[in-house]
Amino acid sequence: MVAVTAGPLWEVVSSVPDPELPPVTIADLGILRSIHEVDGDIVVTITPTYSGCPAVEYIESQIVVALVEAGWDRDRIRVERALSPAWSTDWITAAGREKLATSGISPPRTSSAGEGSAVGTPVRLGPIVCPLCGSSNTSEVSRFGSTACKALFRCDDCAEPFDHVKEI
């Protein structure tokens, strides 16, 4: 079994966009866990953002479509799900966070508890910042946004609504 972390195979799979957050790819989002070549087969492993994610089957199909369009044999492609460890918003790459913000979607906040903090230490999250004007003067409008993984916020300075990716 050979792990693939670069080259044409990685480029094809890592470029598949997330259907619920189109500005980011599955690699940016951190759900692309690995690609292996096993006896000539391509095995792609993904971790859904949560086990009931309605987009996971579509993502799997798009991985296969992308590989077939790039010339790989459909019969030699397998997409597998790994549910452990569970996906976390910490897996979103810096590039993914930037792409979200640039697209008007507030990325999830990161913990300020610090590396090596004791288990059970309260986690302090920074403010939710408006991706449009940069203000931290924001209010939650609805805990449920356009998808299950987002909440709807409003900036109290520029008065614009925006989605915020919930922290998991």
Task: Indicate whether 130 belongs to any domain.
Answer: yes
Its pTM stands at: 0.85
Mean pLDDT of 74-88: 95
Which residue type does 29 have? L
Task: Indicate whether 99 belongs to any domain.
Answer: no
Task: Indicate whether 92 belongs to any domain.
Answer: no
Which residue type does 109 have? R
Q: Are residues 142 and 75 in the same domain?
A: no
Give CA angle at 30 (61, 15), nearest 5°: 50
Q: Are residues 74 and 8 in the same domain?
A: yes
Counting Cβ atoms within 10 Å, is residue 38 exposed (0-12), middle (13-18) or buried (19+)?
exposed
Predicted confidence at residue 117, as pLDDT, reads 45
Q: Are residues 77 and 130 in the same domain?
A: no
Predicted confidence at residue 147, as pLDDT, reads 83
Residue ranges making up the domain that contains 75: 2-81
Distance (Å) of CA 24 to CA 6, 12, 28, 101, 114: 19, 14, 6, 11, 26
Task: Indicate whether 93 belongs to any domain.
Answer: no
Predicted confidence at residue 50, as pLDDT, reads 85
Predicted confidence at residue 146, as pLDDT, reads 83
**CATH code for position 77:** 3.30.300.130
Between residues 15 and 116, the one the model is more confident about: 15
Task: Indicate whether 34 belongs to any domain.
Answer: yes
For residue 66, the surrounding DSSP H or E stretch is helix 56-69
Predicted confidence at residue 123, as pLDDT, reads 60
Please check the confidence at residue 162 and state whether its pLDDT lies above 80: yes
Q: Are residues 131 and 66 in the same domain?
A: no
pLDDT averaged over the chain?
A: 89
Number of independent structural domains in the chain = 2
Q: Are residues 6 and 65 in the same domain?
A: yes
